[in-house]
Structure 1
Amino acid sequence: MIALLGAFALAAVHQYLFFDHDPGVSFPLFIALLYVYLFHDWKDRLKETTGFGWFLFAVIVLLSLTYGLFHNPIFRALNLLAIPSLVFVHLAVLRGANRIPWWDVGIVGEALAHLIPRSLLQIPRLFRVLRISLFRRLDSERQKTATKVAIGLVFATPLLLVVIPLLASADGAFNRLLSGVPGWISRFSLGELFGRVLWILVFGILFAIYFWSFAKPPRRRKAASQADVMPLLKPSIDSVVLTTLLLAVNAVYVLFVAIQFTYLFGAWDGLLPDGTTYAEYARRGFGELVAVSAINFALLIVSLTFSGTRRGLLNTLLYILVVCSGVMLYSAYIRLAMYEEAYGYTYIRFLVHAFMIYLAFLLLIAALRIRTSLVPMAKCFIVLSLAAYTLVNYVGMDRLIAENNLSRFEETGRIDRYYLNKLSADAIPTLVDFAVKREDAEMKSLLKADLGELNRQSRDWRSFNLSVYSAKKAVQTMNQP
């Protein structure tokens, strides 16, 4: 019963924080309360948490804090998917019925199993707990009567919610009677009140059955002895087949890389293919090169995973694949940098840069794995991916885009003020500094228009965002004589 009451209390808080309010500081606050609820029965068992468990918890906390610190629309949308997904995986790692290692892909299935089928199996328990808690002191006859009364109240509630406002409109005396209702209740319209109640009921049930799916995990079967277990044969690729594949692929890559070196280090000095302009060379192919590098990375992972015992020639071919992929990534990086120099910096170009750097680190880990099998490749990939995603949330993408475009303006005199004005509130203080120092009337006009939009955003503490607050203060300071 405590778990059920806690679930509905958490749902009431969830409704208060997020109903008709944008997430702000309310998001990390709710994450903290959610973890208090989901682990309130652990008491002294927190010491069982592994290092990765604490690391994943830190990632979840840091990502939730971004709703109060930054205002980038891309990450605000992505994190609405990423944070719940990480919470589900975190719960599966710490409290899952089956102790699946966190680096095993099966942990995703374990998280989904608790989220859907095992939670749905707890619905009968919900009604059982309600029945026992409400009617345990009544005999069978009174239980039947109380059940019928409860059913009648369930049907009467929505009817009364419709009838009472109609009667209040029809009769002044009845309306004056209702005016004695506390002000905080009278603020709610019929639709809003119904929505809030439904919100609490739905989320309260969801929180309760999800918690119960971890409370009593199914009995685990006794581990079989080594003698009872047949050795599992790990699938492998024949070394001759793999060597032939890598020889063919690497031959093409080495030729391509040799040609790239002709232009890669001379493009900045004007050494370009015949008939190709600076902008065309910069624009052409960086997307394809990134795609090929990603394909190479997949080929590398398959080779490392299913090659069995690797000999000298195979390792050499894998090293060549890594080097060629690295050169392709560098070529794509340079081309994109040249393209940005010609056309400016945007969200998508920033994210492509970040992905290329991330892919380069993955290639480095793969190269270390070629050197020694002691490198835990899956663990390194997972930790690096989580750390990279968290870092790109905190690096300040909008501010960097604004700064780079303003630096480009200093060198070329070209600037797209309207695109810069579309950046989130994270970039506004940087743009205000530029407008004030340069006495840029057009930029000032655009920023003053932004102030109206910033003022229209909710001032409620639940939606407070430090970036929006700083942007508003910066624009107000700019307007002062």
Structure 2
Amino acid sequence: MQPNITSASGEIRAPQVSIPKTPQASPQKPPFACDRTDTLFAVLAFAFGYFYIWSFEKTMTSPLIALITVGYAAFVLTYLYLRGRRPGAESWFWLAVLFSLGLPVTLWSLAPTLQIFLLHGVALYWTLSAAGVLYGGKTGNWLPFDCLSALLVVPAANFPAAFRALLDKRGGGKTRRQVGMVLLGVCIAVPLLALVLPLLASADQMFAEGIRKTGTWFLNNCGDVLLRLILAVPVGAWVYAACYGAARGVHTEPYDRATVRRMAQKAHLVPALASVTALMLVCVAYALFIALQGGYLFSGFSGRLPATFSHAAYARQGFFELCRIGVINVCLLLVTHLFSRAEDEKNRALRLGSVALSALSLLLCATAMSKMGLYIAAYGLTVKRVVATVFLVWLALVFLSAIAYQCKRFGIVRFAAISGAILVCLLCVLPVERLIASYNAAHTFSSAIGFLFT
């Protein structure tokens, strides 16, 4: 025990004892979690991968696509429930979108390649939504980050999980040893069968014929089966990685939301007056264009075609003009609100500029729809014209939501994503080609009747 120390002023102070600092342990990577359920589902994932590869050797509109969609949904839901995850309300909407893309493709499809591509993306996004690991818990302003996580980050980061679940002793007890014993048994049995089977075949003609047919089939199909087995490995591992990562929350938050928010705050570099000036100048340019080209733009509302245009050229030019202008206007609104120093809800001039730009975009959208209506009235419907019209409807909804957003804050990205998904589902679920044929037949009949009575 050390004696007390008396200072020059007579105060008694306790001796200072230096406590050695213990070195802090570096954060370690959490151990791999696995049980028998994981091992079973890893095996099922590889079996699903084989069936997936085999089915895509058929036509893309094969009924097997619907079976794959239902099988994947059942696989994910079963695994999530066994892991204690309960899908939220929004995940059932995305499951309905998944079924709308995957089930009707066996009956009809406007664009099979695009529909299959969307089917894969929605399947992975729905997996994260069902597990409740989306940023914010639902579709929102973090949608680009969620899509990147669902399509790439989570499956890639958890890619070894399926192999570890098969070989990990905790996952299947003595799985590694059992797999080795099975392989050893196969190696022992192959040379024995090579000796025994010819002797059995020489003793019985029917058995010999069966062996011959089996050998012929194996030689004819060995290459295809081997190729499917090879391709099924990465497919099954990718499927299991997405489910495992979503259910256990592993690598589901690769981005630090606080860091992203700080970066967004630092990006507010443009002064408010500069942002408002840019918006107003663009609005003035659009207003002058509309005033000078009023006869060309609004002739579709009166059913008149400009003298120098055909119906097709008039509709196509209006549609592609709107697409370019729509993309530019959406980017301008995003850049203005992301990089402006002023807060949207506190800057009335910025809000008015956004409303004016959205309203002018809606007016141009209406002119494009009138041109498309004139084209359809003259020549009837086609798949491309239906898809273009649906896209115009969605673009109008986006600009309407941009106007409503200036009055009351809500999830505009969420609205755009859900409304777009609903419109795409309608194109997939409804027999659009049959409806087009019925409309064109009725249109031709009415035109013929009108011609007779004129």
Tell me the TM-score normalized by structure 2.
0.70
Pick aligned residue for 2:435 from 391, 395, 400: 400
**C-alpha deviation, 1:322, in angstroms:** 1.4
Looking at structure 1, the residues matched to 308 and 56 of structure 2 have their Cα atoms a distance apart, in angstroms, of 57
Q: Bigger shift: 335-344 or 234-243?
A: 335-344
Asked if the contact 1:294/1:359 (under 8 Å) is kept, the reply is no
Aligned in 2, Cα 1:212/1:259: closer, same or farther, shift over 3 Å?
A: same
Higher RCO (CA < 8 A, seq sep 6+): 1
**C-alpha deviation, 1:359, in angstroms:** 0.3
Q: Bigger shift: 389-398 or 188-197?
A: 188-197
**C-alpha deviation, 1:378, in angstroms:** 1.6
Looking at structure 2, the residues matched to 213 and 35 of structure 1 have their Cα atoms a distance apart, in angstroms, of 16
Aligned in 2, Cα 1:404/1:189: closer, same or farther, shift over 3 Å?
A: farther
Query: Equivalent residue for 2:80?
Result: 42
Aligned in 2, Cα 1:153/1:338: closer, same or farther, shift over 3 Å?
A: farther
Per-residue CA shift, 1:320-348, capped at 9, x if unaligned? Answer: 21121111111111122223344443222
Asked if the contact 2:264/2:338 (under 8 Å) is kept, the reply is no
Query: Equivalent residue for 1:28?
Result: 66
Looking at structure 2, the residues matched to 134 and 404 of structure 1 have their Cα atoms a distance apart, in angstroms, of 62
Looking at structure 2, the residues matched to 369 and 126 of structure 1 have their Cα atoms a distance apart, in angstroms, of 51
Matched, 1:119 2:153: no
Pick aligned residue for 1:106 from 145, 150, 159: 145
Asked if the contact 1:304/1:370 (under 8 Å) is kept, the reply is no
Looking at structure 2, the residues matched to 107 and 376 of structure 1 have their Cα atoms a distance apart, in angstroms, of 15
Per-residue CA shift, 1:116-155, capped at 9, x if unaligned? Answer: 23214654554446996455479xxxx6xx588368479x
**C-alpha deviation, 1:196, in angstroms:** 3.4
Query: Equivalent residue for 1:240?
Result: 273
Looking at structure 2, the residues matched to 10 and 276 of structure 1 have their Cα atoms a distance apart, in angstroms, of 54
Asked if the contact 1:300/1:318 (under 8 Å) is kept, the reply is yes
Looking at structure 1, the residues matched to 131 and 212 of structure 2 have their Cα atoms a distance apart, in angstroms, of 44
Asked if the contact 2:279/2:354 (under 8 Å) is kept, the reply is yes
Asked if the contact 2:45/2:240 (under 8 Å) is kept, the reply is yes
Looking at structure 2, the residues matched to 269 and 216 of structure 1 have their Cα atoms a distance apart, in angstroms, of 60
Residue identity matched to 2:96: A
Pick aligned residue for 2:322 from 284, 289, 310: 289
Asked if the contact 1:246/1:317 (under 8 Å) is kept, the reply is yes
Pick aligned residue for 1:177 from 186, 204, 207: 207
**C-alpha deviation, 1:300, in angstroms:** 2.4
Aligned in 2, Cα 1:187/1:389: closer, same or farther, shift over 3 Å?
A: farther
Residue identity matched to 1:391: L
Aligned in 2, Cα 1:90/1:131: closer, same or farther, shift over 3 Å?
A: closer
| Percent of aligned pairs sharing the same letter | 20
Looking at structure 1, the residues matched to 310 and 316 of structure 2 have their Cα atoms a distance apart, in angstroms, of 10
Pick aligned residue for 1:356 from 376, 392, 401: 392
Pick aligned residue for 2:282 from 221, 224, 249: 249
Residue identity matched to 1:303: T
Query: Equivalent residue for 1:309?
Result: 343
Per-residue CA shift, 1:18-63, capped at 9, x if unaligned? Answer: 6546544433333232233233343377773222212111111222
Asked if the contact 1:345/1:405 (under 8 Å) is kept, the reply is yes
Looking at structure 1, the residues matched to 66 and 349 of structure 2 have their Cα atoms a distance apart, in angstroms, of 52
Looking at structure 2, the residues matched to 270 and 399 of structure 1 have their Cα atoms a distance apart, in angstroms, of 27
Aligned in 2, Cα 1:347/1:295: closer, same or farther, shift over 3 Å?
A: same
SS at match of 2:78: coil
Gaps of 5+ in 2: 1-38, 450-454
**C-alpha deviation, 1:361, in angstroms:** 0.6
Aligned in 2, Cα 1:196/1:321: closer, same or farther, shift over 3 Å?
A: same
Asked if the contact 2:167/2:175 (under 8 Å) is kept, the reply is no
Looking at structure 2, the residues matched to 338 and 172 of structure 1 have their Cα atoms a distance apart, in angstroms, of 80
Asked if the contact 2:101/2:428 (under 8 Å) is kept, the reply is yes
Q: Bigger shift: 239-248 or 117-126?
A: 117-126
Asked if the contact 2:127/2:242 (under 8 Å) is kept, the reply is no
Aligned in 2, Cα 1:153/1:330: closer, same or farther, shift over 3 Å?
A: farther
Looking at structure 1, the residues matched to 247 and 309 of structure 2 have their Cα atoms a distance apart, in angstroms, of 66
Rg larger in 1 or in 2? 2
Residue identity matched to 1:325: S
Query: Equivalent residue for 2:381?
Result: 345
Query: Equivalent residue for 1:298?
Result: 331
Residue pairs, 1:76-225, within 5 angstroms: 76-95=112-131, 101=137, 102-103=139-140, 104=142, 105-111=144-150, 112-120=152-160, 122-128=162-168, 133-134=174-175, 136=177, 146=181, 149=184, 152=187, 176-180=206-210, 188=217, 190-196=219-225, 198-200=227-229, 202=233, 203-214=235-246, 216-218=248-250
Aligned in 2, Cα 1:100/1:115: closer, same or farther, shift over 3 Å?
A: farther
Aligned in 2, Cα 1:149/1:281: closer, same or farther, shift over 3 Å?
A: closer
Per-residue CA shift, 1:421-472, capped at 9, x if unaligned? Answer: xxxxxxxxxxxxxxxxxxxxxxxxxxxxxxxxxxxxxxxxxxxxxxxxxxxx
Matched, 1:387 2:426: no
SS at match of 2:158: helix
Asked if the contact 2:46/2:236 (under 8 Å) is kept, the reply is yes
Aligned in 2, Cα 1:360/1:2: closer, same or farther, shift over 3 Å?
A: same
Looking at structure 1, the residues matched to 302 and 53 of structure 2 have their Cα atoms a distance apart, in angstroms, of 60
Per-residue CA shift, 1:326-379, capped at 9, x if unaligned? Answer: 11111111122223344443222221111111100111111100112x221121
Residue pairs, 1:405-424, within 5 angstroms: 405-412=440-447
Asked if the contact 1:93/1:99 (under 8 Å) is kept, the reply is no
SS at match of 2:410: coil
Looking at structure 1, the residues matched to 173 and 131 of structure 2 have their Cα atoms a distance apart, in angstroms, of 27
Residue identity matched to 2:385: R
Pick aligned residue for 1:62 from 90, 95, 100: 100
Asked if the contact 1:31/1:61 (under 8 Å) is kept, the reply is yes
**C-alpha deviation, 1:409, in angstroms:** 2.3
Question: RMSD over aligned Cα, in angstroms?
Answer: 4.3
Gaps of 5+ in 1: 415-481
Per-residue CA shift, 1:87-136, capped at 9, x if unaligned? Answer: 11122234477856432121123221122232146545544469964554
